[in-house]
Structure 1
């Protein structure tokens, strides 16, 4: 058995676990489709004519249903791939043969192509829905061609294809019951892609000049080349200015963010400082509490002195002076000795005499 060539990405690891056992082995990338032989299909199995109903039931079991689809396939795109996918999935067991017309036929009946016939042939071989590619396919299908490649059905969209002096080149295929319709993909076609390129021609020429293509390769004159290069320089300057503006806007935005952060932090620190100050020096702060405590300690350490002339104040006595305060007489002594009359007092004491006389005695 020949060893299959392993290309990039073909070594797909299988998932581990019971689920991988149920799913079976992971299929590797398939080889490109083969080109049809010049002699056509060499199968020895007799080719019996099938109806669409028989083919959809999966018969015959000994061979696949051979479906043919043809076209130009210039600028191979998703619309082409979707049509071929539909052709491949028409029946349970389908062998899809794709015919590609040559440059000579295409230029004669349709117009100039972007890709050469060899490029178009090779592009089709890498489509995963295709099993076989027929080079230099005929523009109109003949009975000999259908027998040569043992074709059961022809797949194409159902829109009448007017070409080569015929209202529909697939008319005889439809009458023979061998036509199977596919659906077109709206919004995408080779003509649409070419229209985009023509519409934006200047953009693509300028792009290729920037990438190193010469004016001769692009078929551009001297004046247009200078014009395109000048436009490229102007676009570069605009891009530079735009970049500088974006950077300056970003810088200003960052500075605004930083300034807002600084202002917010300053406000937070200010509120914290004011709160700490009020907590320390406010009416109920710790500083007043410390002052009150220190005042109480000073009062406790120093004796209390009343102001002069206060009735509650007592005269300060010298520790060595005799006690001149009169001794209060007891009741017994007062009853035994009468009080001394005022006359017996000394005349020198005018204050006592005046006081006595003031009371009327």
Structure 2
């Protein structure tokens, strides 16, 4: 059997998400038989390239280990992939989206010149920066969420006045929800009453019509000369 094609992909991989997984999946499936190595930058390089990270280098290493497409994680990976590095790790191809985000130099220039670069497509609408922006846009919502889940204001770097403000907002929100529930229950009860009233009136009309149909000015008698009737549901009686 032929040996696997050894492909190397590298990056920060902060807040590991579906965009990262899609890129690694592309690299893993580029050839029928691929051994995928993933290099993860340490904190110094990551902060230089992308800015302050959410996860530490150890946490980012651990995230990649559990990805199904990854066969090996290279920790403390270099920013530039050199021919010497490729030879050391027996790398056949390097896979990346090739963008120069965070720095102006194309670190894959030499690899591209060698014809050993595999471009991957990024996933639209998802990135670590977009996730951080989403949290930032909804800052108050997430702070209130974590306060309700037991985090202290010191854990969240929130002042006492701000924490009290959030608590008042939550109390008002709970009051609005209670009022809404009462309104919903009242509406449901009204619908039930209206429905039962319609059923009651229809039943009464049916019994009245049946009574008129069988009534001849006197109570019908049985062979024994006594009135004969049958009891219906809910205490109503029908003459026969």
TM-score, reference length from structure 2? 0.86
1:171 to 94, 106, 109: 109
State whether structure 2 residue 195 is matched by structure 1 residue 257.
Answer: yes
SS in structure 2 opposite 1:99? strand
- 1:161/1:170 contact within 8 Å kept: no
Report the Cα distance in structure 2 between the residues aligned to 1:264 and 1:113, rounded to whole angstroms.
71
- Equivalences for 1:152-301 in 2 at 5 Å? 152-158=92-98, 160-166=99-105, 168-277=106-215, 280-281=216-217
Query: 1:163: how far off?
Result: 4.3
SS in structure 1 opposite 2:9? strand
Structure 2 counterpart of 1:331: none
Query: 1:109: how far off?
Result: 2.5
Report the Cα distance in structure 2 between the residues aligned to 1:139 and 1:269, rounded to whole angstroms.
89
TM-score, reference length from structure 1? 0.58
Query: 1:195: how far off?
Result: 0.9
Structure 2 counterpart of 1:325: none
SS in structure 2 opposite 1:245? helix
Unaligned runs of 5+ in 2: 222-240
Report the Cα distance in structure 2 between the residues aligned to 1:122 and 1:110, rounded to whole angstroms.
19
More strand by share: 2
Larger radius of gyration: 1
- 2:48/2:102 contact within 8 Å kept: no
- 2:82/2:110 contact within 8 Å kept: no
SS in structure 1 opposite 2:118? strand
Report the Cα distance in structure 1 between the residues aligned to 2:213 and 2:130, rounded to whole angstroms.
74
2:67 to 108, 120, 127: 127
Structure 2 counterpart of 1:140: 80
- 1:215/1:221 contact within 8 Å kept: yes
- 2:36/2:71 contact within 8 Å kept: yes
Structure 1 counterpart of 2:20: 80
Query: 1:121: how far off?
Result: 1.0
Q: Specify whether residues 210 and 162 from structure 1 end up closer, same or farther in structure 2 by C-alpha distance, changes over 3 A only.
A: closer
Q: Specify whether residues 162 and 207 from structure 1 end up closer, same or farther in structure 2 by C-alpha distance, changes over 3 A only.
A: closer
Query: 1:119: how far off?
Result: 1.3
- 1:162/1:169 contact within 8 Å kept: no
SS in structure 2 opposite 1:97? strand
After superposition, the C-alpha distances for 1:109-152 in whole angstroms (9 at most, x for unaligned) are 22011111111111111111111111111111122221111110
Query: 1:183: how far off?
Result: 1.4
After superposition, the C-alpha distances for 1:260-308 in whole angstroms (9 at most, x for unaligned) are 211221222222222222xx349xxx89xxxxxxxxxxxxxxxxxxxxx
Structure 2 counterpart of 1:45: none
Unaligned runs of 5+ in 1: 1-60, 288-361
Question: Which 4+ residue blocks in structure 1 deviate beyond 3 angstroms?
Answer: 162-165
Q: Specify whether residues 80 and 146 from structure 1 end up closer, same or farther in structure 2 by C-alpha distance, changes over 3 A only.
A: same
* Aligned-residue RMSD, C-alpha: 1.9
- 1:69/1:156 contact within 8 Å kept: yes
After superposition, the C-alpha distances for 1:205-250 in whole angstroms (9 at most, x for unaligned) are 0111111111111001111111111111111111111122111111
Q: Specify whether residues 83 and 165 from structure 1 end up closer, same or farther in structure 2 by C-alpha distance, changes over 3 A only.
A: closer
Matched residues, number: 221
